Amino acid sequence: MKNQPALDAHSIQNTMLLPLWGRAAASEKNPDILYDRQAIEIIKKCDYNFDSIAKAFGGEFSGICYVVRARKIDDAIRAYMQAHPRATIVNIGAGLDTTFSRVDNGMIRWYNLDLPDAIAYRQSFIPDSERNRSIAKSFFDTTWFEDVHFTPEEGIMFVAGGVFYYFREEELREVVAAMARRFPVGELYFDAESKQAVDKSNRMVQKTGNQGAPMYFYVNDASALNSWAPEISVISCLDYFAGIPRNRQWSWQSRLMTRILGRLGMMKFIHLGFSHER
């Protein structure tokens, strides 16, 4: 595709290509978990050499992690939509995420929040539509709160897939606490890793040649997030691979990893609720 905006190869924004490639490469082999048709189509159009990504993340297990993350976020949104069919969904650090194409029920309102260059790159592949709009601002520029239109009765859910790792806990705590005050009926669903797992992930990203996107945030004990603000409470913290079918065609190493990492609490999904009545 012509006229694609350039991305700094040593930036957090550039990491949006990792999950895109992972979903496209792995969903064809794991359609029972997730099939991301839109990601596959974008890869074909993308003017980018994915060799370094494929080399660093080309293992079977890495691909499984990408499709599982997308599947679990899809499932969380669908569960929320059962009670809130006209909900507002805010996709934090959206990058080239394609979740809307899989979960849209024809009624939800969707916002893709990301930095201006990331949104420009996204829109070269996925244009905005009436119910699927972009906000070109930093997550930490809380003026984006005013760009999100919702009604408490219809509900609001925030999701962040593979995003919070790149920020320090004190930065996240401040903004999430502000979100809880501004959107007191909201919920937040995101993935996290333990300190040990984040250290390993940092080494993998560096193998792609990207030296400008170190990961900081980790969660060893999810209950500690209850202390972020009086309005925040942990709804659940679940094993990353909980409920995901193990494919018998996976290597024994991949099957073993999905069990060990969950049991050790190294990879997880965390669900927070916002309320003034805690």
At 246 the pLDDT is: 84
Residues 6+ apart with CB under 8 A from 78: 103
42 belongs to a structural domain: no
81-139 per-position pLDDT tens digit: 999 999 999 999 999 999 999 999 999 999 999 999 999 989 999 999 999 999 999 99
Relative orientation angle of helices 60-83 and 17-27, to the nearest 10 degrees: 90
At 12 the pLDDT is: 44
Residue whose entry in the numeric block shows the structure tokens 């905005």 = 128
Count of domains for the chain: 1
Mean pLDDT of the chain: 88
211 belongs to a structural domain: yes
182 belongs to a structural domain: yes
CA angle, 202 as apex, 157 and 200 as ends, to 5°? 100
Q: Is the pLDDT of residue 7 over 60?
A: no
128, two tokens = 């905005």
**Strand boundaries in the chain, DSSP class E:** 88-92, 109-114, 132-136, 156-160, 187-193, 232-239, 267-274
Burial 215-253 (b: 16+ CB within 10 A, else e): bebbbeebeebeebbebbbeeebebbbeebeebeebeee
Q: Domain containing 234 — which CATH number?
A: 3.40.50.150
The DSSP bridge pattern shows strands 267-274 and 132-136 to be unpaired
210 belongs to a structural domain: yes
Chain length of the chain = 278
* Straight-line distance from the first to the last Cα atom of the chain, in angstroms, rounded to the nearest whole number: 50
233 belongs to a structural domain: yes
At 22 the pLDDT is: 86
Q: What is the 3-state secondary structure of 34-78?
A: CCCHHHHHHHHHCCCCCHHHHHHHCCHHHHHHHHHHHHHHHHHHH
Q: Are 81 and 105 in contact (CB under 8 A)?
A: yes
36-62 per-position pLDDT tens digit: 999 999 988 877 667 666 666 657 888
89 belongs to a structural domain: yes
% of the chain surpassing 90 pLDDT: 65
Residue whose entry in the numeric block shows the structure tokens 């999430």 = 176
Averaged over 191-202, what is the pLDDT?
Answer: 86
231-260 per-position pLDDT tens digit: 999 999 999 999 998 888 899 999 999 988
24 belongs to a structural domain: no
3-state class of 208 per DSSP? coil
Residues 6+ apart with CB under 8 A from 228: 173, 176, 177
- List the domain range (segments joined by +) for residue 121: 72-274
Q: Are 1 and 125 in contact (CB under 8 A)?
A: yes
Q: Are 47 and 40 in contact (CB under 8 A)?
A: no
21 belongs to a structural domain: no
Q: Are 5 and 121 in contact (CB under 8 A)?
A: yes
pTM above 0.85, yes or no: yes
3-state class of 4 per DSSP? coil
